Homo-oligomer: A and B are copies of this chain.
Amino acid sequence: MSENCITEISQKDDIMARPATDIEAGRAQLLDLVESLIEERGAMEITLAELAARAHMSPANIYRFFESKEALFEAIAERWFEPKIAIMDEVLASDLPIRERFYEFFARRFELMVAQQRENPMLFDSYCELGQQHFDIIRSYIDLGDHNLSVLIGEAKAEGYFPALSIDSALSHVNLMVHVFVNPKAVVLIQPTPTTAKLRAIVDAIFDGLGREAVADKGADAPVLRVVE
């Protein structure tokens, strides 16, 4: 998209009469510029004035697209999380067996992050850094992930998994066990690298071993004979 295109849109006078899709298109183009700024300079603060200059737009005009720096960062976060939310929605809506949905819920987002990191390691790092700087904005996305995982855990419990744990408690345990597959910084730092094959075995360990009644009732080393799946 050319910078002229943005300028043209933004210089129309009657902003309220403009279709919302025009505003959306302008925002999307500005977010492309933001990405190139992040790519050039890392996770330093980006001001709206700076973004306006880059877009050949007057400082006043930029407010038509982002009313504050906060709104800009919310839009950056929204763009970052959009494909992850799409994955979660798809997995939740699918009719795969619960264990498989559990695996896909983590594996697909993990693979996305690995691909993003490989494609542009510096940019990926900068987004992680930005996320840490604006954790208040990220928080709601983490909560959404927890909410979705709780739904899956509830369905697993309905099928008899994690009988000794409440949904909240199972959520907390699972989050700890798969942390390295969810945390974007861990994707890069952990050696040897997490893989989806290992995630598969860990999801099996969660389903076959986490929060079993026998363990909770009789102690860790009680002998048990039962249908385990």
Contacts and interface: CB of A to CB of B under 8 A. Distances in A.
A226 B229 CA distance: 10
A206 B100 CA distance: 19
A91 B200 CA distance: 30
Contacts of A165: 201
Interface string A154-179: 00000000000100000011001101
Interface in A205-227: 205-212, 214-215, 220-227
Interface residues of A, number: 42
B209 A204 contact: yes
B99 A220 contact: yes
Interface in A90-121: 97, 99-100, 103
Given A179-B179, A205-B177, A209-B208, A224 B215 contact: no
Contacts of A172: 192, 198
A180 interface: yes
Contacts of A44: none
Contacts of A176: 180-181, 190, 194, 198, 202
Among A207, A214, A215, A223: residue with most chain B CB under 10 A: A215
A157 B211 CA distance: 22
A222 to B, nearest CB: 7
Given A176-B190, A224-B227, A207 B209 contact: yes
A227 B221 contact: no
A177 to B, nearest CB: 5
A186 interface: yes
A190 B182 CA distance: 12
Contact of A210 (B201, B215, B229): B201
Contacts of A229: 214, 221-224
Given A209-B206, A229-B224, A173 B201 contact: yes
A228 interface: yes
Given A177-B205, A202-B210, A208-B215, 19 more contacts: A97-B221, A100-B220, A176-B180, A176-B190, A177-B177, A177-B202, A204-B212, A204-B220, A205-B205, A205-B206, A205-B208, A205-B209, A208-B208, A214-B229, A223-B227, A223-B229, A224-B227, A225-B228, A228-B228
